[in-house]
Chain A
Amino acid sequence: MTAPPREPPGTEQAGARAGRARWVRVARFTGVPVRVSVDGIAHEAHAGESVLSAVLAVLGHARLNEFDGGKRAGFCVMGACQDCWVWVDGGRRVRGCGTEVAEGMAISTSAPRLEAADG
Chain B
Amino acid sequence: MARAVIVGAGPAGITAAATLAARGVDVVLIEEGRRGGGQGYRAAPPGLDLPMRRLLGGDLAAWRRIQARFVALTMPMKGLHERFPGFAGQVEFRPGTLAWNIADSVVHTECAGTLDEIAYDALVLATGATDRIMPVPGWTLPGVYTLGGAQTALKDQGCLIGRQVVFCGASPLLYLAALQYARMAGAAGARVVGVLDTTPFAEKRRALPDLLAAPGLLLKGLGLLAALKVRGVPVRHGVRLSAFTGTDQGEGAGVDGVLYQDAAGRTQRIECDAVAFGFGLRPESQLAELAGAALRYDPTFRQWFPAQDADGRCAPKVYVAGDNCRIGGARAAEAAGLIAAHAALADLGLANGGTDTQLVAARRTLAAMERFQRGLARAFAWPHHWAAGMADETIVCRCENVTVGAVRGAVLDARGGERELNRVKAAVRCGMGRCQGRFCGNAAAEIVAAALGDAQAEPGRLRAQPPVKPLPVTAAPKEPVT
Contacts and interface: CB of A to CB of B under 8 A. Distances in A.
A61 B253 contact: yes
Given A22-B143, A80-B130, A60 B32 contact: no
Interface string A68-99: 11111111111111110100000001000110
A77 B158 contact: no
A27 interface: yes
Contacts, number: 165
A46 interface: yes
B469 A29 contact: no
Given A27-B49, A27-B50, A80-B438, A71 B148 contact: no
B407 to A, nearest CB: 16
B470 to A, nearest CB: 6
Contacts of A108: none
A82 to B, nearest CB: 4
Contacts of B152: 76-78, 97
A53 interface: yes
Contacts of B32: 79, 98
Contacts of A98: 32-33
A78 to B, nearest CB: 5
Contacts of A68: 248, 401
Given A74-B145, A79-B33, A50 B248 contact: no
Contact of B149 (A31, A57, A78, A119): A78
Given A50-B156, A98-B32, A119-B434, A30 B49 contact: yes
A86 to B, nearest CB: 14
A29 B49 contact: yes
A75 B187 CA distance: 25
A91 B252 CA distance: 28
* Interface residue SS majority, chain B: loop
Given A25-B159, A47-B47, A67-B401, A76 B149 contact: yes
Nearest to B50: A27
Interface residues of B, number: 59
B162 to A, nearest CB: 7
A68 B399 CA distance: 11
Contacts of A7: none
Contacts of B435: 80-83
B434 A49 contact: no
Contacts of B190: 24, 26
A50 B157 contact: yes
A119 B130 CA distance: 23
A74 to B, nearest CB: 7
Contacts of B337: none
A70 B469 CA distance: 23
Q: Label chain A's interface by main secondary structure.
A: loop
Nearest to B34: A100
Contacts of A25: 158-159, 188
Interface in B217-272: 248-249, 251-254
B318 to A, nearest CB: 22
Interface in B393-420: 398-401
B159 A53 contact: yes
Contact of B48 (A23, A29, A81): A29
Contacts of A20: 251
A61 B160 CA distance: 15
A84 B81 CA distance: 35
Contacts of A26: 154, 158-160, 184-185, 187-188, 190
Contact of B163 (A24, A27, A53): A24
A48 interface: yes
Given A25-B188, A26-B187, A29-B48, A71 B249 contact: yes
A47 B46 CA distance: 9
Interface string B291-335: 000000000000000000000000000000000000000000000
Interface of B: 32-34, 39, 45-51, 130-131, 140, 142-146, 148-150, 152-154, 156-163, 184-185, 187-188, 190, 248-249, 251-254, 274, 284, 398-401, 433-435, 438-439, 469-470, 472-473
Given A50-B156, A72-B248, A98-B32, 5 more contacts: A49-B157, A76-B438, A79-B33, A82-B469, A119-B434
Interface of A: 20, 22-31, 46-50, 52-53, 56-57, 60-62, 65, 67-83, 85, 93, 97-98, 100, 118-119
| Nearest 5 Cβ contacts at the A-B interface | A27-B158, A48-B45, A31-B47, A70-B248, A73-B142
18 contacts: A20-B251, A23-B160, A24-B159, A24-B162, A27-B50, A27-B158, A49-B45, A57-B159, A60-B142, A67-B400, A70-B253, A71-B253, A76-B145, A78-B148, A80-B469, A81-B439, A100-B34, A119-B433
